Structure 1
Amino acid sequence: MRSAARKLVGSAGLTRLVCLVAVLATVGLLPWLSHRDPALTVLRARSAEQEATEEALSAIRADLGLDAGPLSLLGRWASDLLRGDFGTSWVSGTDVLPSVIAGLQVSLGLMGAALGVAVVLAAVLVAPVLVRGRGSAGAFAAMLAAVPEFLLATVVLLVCGVWLGWLPTAGWAGPEYLVLPALALGVPAGGLLGRLVADALPAVLDERWVELWRGAGVSRTAISAAALKRVLPPLVPQFGMVAVGLTGGAVAVEMVFAVPGIGRTALGAAKSQDLPLLQGSVLALLLLGLVAGAAAAFTRRRLLGPALRDAGLTLPPARPVRTHPAIPLTLFTVLAVTIGWGLLRDPYTVNTAARLAAPTWAHPLGTDALGRDVLARLGHGAASTVGTAAAICVLSLLVALALGFLPGVAAGAADIANALPPVIVGILVAAATGPGTGGAALAVALISWPALSAHAAALVQEVRASTFLTAQRAMGATPFWILTRHVLPSVAAPVARHALLRLPGIALALASLGFLGLGAQPPAPEWGLLLDESRAYVERAPWAALAPAVALALLAGLAVSGAAAVQGRRAWVRRATPTAKKRAPKKRAAKKRAPKKRAPKKEASVAV
Structure 2
Amino acid sequence: MLRALIPAASRLVTAAAVVCFVGMLPFLSGQDPAAAVLRARSAEQLMTQEALDAVRRGLGLGETAWQTLGLWFGRLLHGDLGTSWVSGAPVGPSVLSALGVSLLLMGVAILVALAVAGLVCLGPVRAGMRGRPATGSGALSAALTALPEFLLGAVLLVVLSVWLGLLPPYGWGTPSNVVLPALAMGLPAGGLLGRLLAEAITSAYREPWVQTWIMSGWTRGEVLRGTLRRAVPPVLPQIGLVMVGLTGGAVAVEQIFTVPGLGRTALGAAASSDLPMLQACVLVLLAIGVLAGSGSRLLGRRLLGPAMAAQAMTEGQRAPVLRRGWWIVPAACGVVLLGVIVLGVPLDAYGTGLPRLAAPGTEGASGVAVLGADASGRDVLARVGHGALATILLALACVLFCWVIGLLAGTVPALSTGPFEAANAVPPVLAGMVVAALMGPSAQGAVIAVLAVSWAPLAAHTASLVEEANATAYSRMAPLLGISRTRLVLTKLLPGVSGPVFRHAMLRLPGTALALAALGFLGLGPQPPTPDWGLLLNEGIDYIERAPWVAAAPMLALIALSVLAVSLSSRRA
Q: Distance in 2 between matches of 1:202 and 1:10?
A: 38
Match of 1:126 in 2: 121
Q: Distance in 2 between matches of 1:472 and 1:16?
A: 31
SS of equivalent to 2:373: coil
* Contact persistence 2:83–2:90 (CA under 8 A): yes
Q: 1:510 aligns with which of 511, 516, 531?
A: 516
Q: Distance in 1 between matches of 2:3 and 2:234?
A: 20
Q: Tell me the alpha carbon deviations over residues 309-361 of structure 1, each in whole angstroms, 9 at most, x when there is no partner.
A: 5x36224756334352233222111110111111011111124x611111116
One-letter code aligned to 1:244: V
* Contact persistence 1:410–1:454 (CA under 8 A): no
Q: Distance in 2 between matches of 1:319 and 1:26?
A: 40
Match of 1:589 in 2: none
Q: Distance in 2 between matches of 1:348 and 1:488?
A: 45
TM superposition score normalised by structure 2: 0.93
* Contact persistence 1:199–1:318 (CA under 8 A): no
* Contact persistence 2:230–2:308 (CA under 8 A): no
Match of 2:78 in 1: 83
Q: Distance in 2 between matches of 1:481 and 1:23?
A: 33
Query: Cα offset for 1:505?
Result: 0.7
One-letter code aligned to 1:444: V
Query: Cα offset for 1:64?
Result: 3.8
Match of 1:400 in 2: 406
* Contact persistence 1:139–1:560 (CA under 8 A): no
Query: Cα offset for 1:467?
Result: 2.4
* Contact persistence 1:366–1:544 (CA under 8 A): yes
SS of equivalent to 1:91: coil
TM superposition score normalised by structure 1: 0.88
Q: 1:452 aligns with which of 442, 458, 467?
A: 458
- The aligned runs of 1:61-460 (5 Å cut-off) are 61=56, 63-66=58-61, 68-133=63-128, 134-135=133-134, 136-305=136-305, 311=310, 313-315=312-314, 317=318, 319-322=320-323, 324-351=326-353, 354-360=355-361, 362-460=368-466
SS of equivalent to 2:526: coil
Matched pairs, number: 560
Q: Distance in 2 between matches of 1:171 and 1:470?
A: 63
* Contact persistence 1:358–1:365 (CA under 8 A): yes
One-letter code aligned to 1:354: P
Q: 2:42 aligns with which of 32, 42, 47?
A: 47
What's the % identity of the aligned pairs?
Answer: 49
Q: Which moved more, 1:323-332 or 1:53-62?
A: 53-62
Query: Cα offset for 1:218?
Result: 2.6
Query: Cα offset for 1:67?
Result: 5.4
Sort the Cα spacing of 1:40 and 1:204 in 2 relative to 1 into closer, same or farther, 3 A: same
Q: Distance in 1 between matches of 2:138 and 2:4?
A: 36
SS of equivalent to 2:416: helix
* Contact persistence 2:144–2:187 (CA under 8 A): yes
| Structure 1: unaligned runs, 5 residues or longer | 1-5, 571-608
Q: Distance in 1 between matches of 2:240 and 2:389?
A: 34
Q: Tell me the alpha carbon deviations over residues 392-432 of structure 1, each in whole angstroms, 9 at most, x when there is no partner.
A: 11111111111122011222211111111111111111111
Q: Tell me the alpha carbon deviations over residues 236-288 of structure 1, each in whole angstroms, 9 at most, x when there is no partner.
A: 11111111111110000000000000000010011111111111111111111
SS of equivalent to 1:488: helix
Q: Larger C-alpha radius of gyration, 1 or 2?
A: 1
Q: Distance in 1 between matches of 2:321 and 2:58?
A: 61
- Aligned CA RMSD, in angstroms, stands at 2.1
Q: Distance in 2 between matches of 1:448 and 1:212?
A: 43
Q: Distance in 1 between matches of 2:30 and 2:164?
A: 44
One-letter code aligned to 2:198: A
Sort the Cα spacing of 1:299 and 1:337 in 2 relative to 1 into closer, same or farther, 3 A: same
Q: Tell me the alpha carbon deviations over residues 160-211 of structure 1, each in whole angstroms, 9 at most, x when there is no partner.
A: 0000000001000200100000000001100110000111222211111111
Query: Cα offset for 1:477?
Result: 6.1
Q: 1:520 aligns with which of 526, 533, 536?
A: 526
Q: Which moved more, 1:514-523 or 1:289-298?
A: 289-298
Q: Tell me the alpha carbon deviations over residues 561-588 of structure 1, each in whole angstroms, 9 at most, x when there is no partner.
A: 2344x44xx9xxxxxxxxxxxxxxxxxx
Q: Distance in 1 between matches of 2:58 and 2:92?
A: 20
Q: Tell me the alpha carbon deviations over residues 544-599 of structure 1, each in whole angstroms, 9 at most, x when there is no partner.
A: 111111111111111222344x44xx9xxxxxxxxxxxxxxxxxxxxxxxxxxxxx
Sort the Cα spacing of 1:10 and 1:139 in 2 relative to 1 into closer, same or farther, 3 A: farther
Sort the Cα spacing of 1:475 and 1:53 in 2 relative to 1 into closer, same or farther, 3 A: closer
Q: Distance in 1 between matches of 2:441 and 2:510?
A: 22
Q: Distance in 2 between matches of 1:480 and 1:95?
A: 52
Q: Distance in 1 between matches of 2:272 and 2:486?
A: 53
One-letter code aligned to 1:232: V
One-letter code aligned to 1:406: V
Q: Distance in 1 between matches of 2:47 and 2:495?
A: 60
Sort the Cα spacing of 1:16 and 1:481 in 2 relative to 1 into closer, same or farther, 3 A: closer
| Structure 2: unaligned runs, 5 residues or longer | 363-367
Sort the Cα spacing of 1:8 and 1:364 in 2 relative to 1 into closer, same or farther, 3 A: farther
* Contact persistence 1:410–1:450 (CA under 8 A): no
